[in-house]
Amino acid sequence: MTALQSREFSLPVRVYIEDTDAGGIVYYVNYLKYFERARTEYMRSLGYDKPAFPGDDLMFVVSEANVSYQSPARLDESITVTARITNTGAATLTFAQTVLRGATCLVNGQVTLALVNSEDGRPRRLPATLRQKVADS
């Protein structure tokens, strides 16, 4: 088994009032929602209609998230959220993610997903087809 990397996937996102807080900027917690939308659409682009459930009894859960905040996004801005797989384990996918205003990085992070059995929560090996799709992307 070799570690796989993917291309970088980009998703345009509009900042709505629901995303902001009393500081007038995007509530820092909500960037994690943006990150997930980009991961989800990347998986959908690989052919997964239900990206969080990539097979019978299979479910992705987040096992770790690390986020670094440089500069805030603001109401009504049009921003870009990226997702790129930088590492794979037997049962895990690690994404490098960014939130960009044009070429400026506002937020970056790393999120690791673990594939588990949706019944008992135990780790499950990434299916070969999924690994192949990631490698081809």
Footprint of a copy of itself (CB under 8 A)? 14, 16-18, 20-25, 27-30, 32-33, 36-37, 40-41, 44, 49-52, 59, 61-69, 72, 75-76
Give the single-character DSSP code of 55: B
Check if the beta carbon of residue 69 is closer than 8 Å to that of residue 124: no
Q: Least distance to a copy of itself from the beta carbon of 128, Å?
A: 24
Map residue 70 onto helix, strand or coil.
Answer: coil
Determine which one of 21, 57, 76, 136 is catalytic.
21
Q: Tell me how far, at minimum, the Cβ of 23 lies from a copy of itself, in Å.
A: 7
Asked about 21 being catalytic, the answer comes back as yes
Render the burial of 63-97: b for 16+ CB within 10 Å, e for the rest: eeeebeeeebbeeeeebbbbbbbeebeebbbbbbb
Residue whose CB is less far from a copy of itself, 1 or 105: 105
- How far apart CA 97 and CA 66 sit, in angstroms, is 10
Q: How far is the CB of 46 from a copy of itself (least distance, A)?
A: 14
| Smaller CB separation from a copy of itself, 33 or 131 | 33
**Active site amino acids:** 21
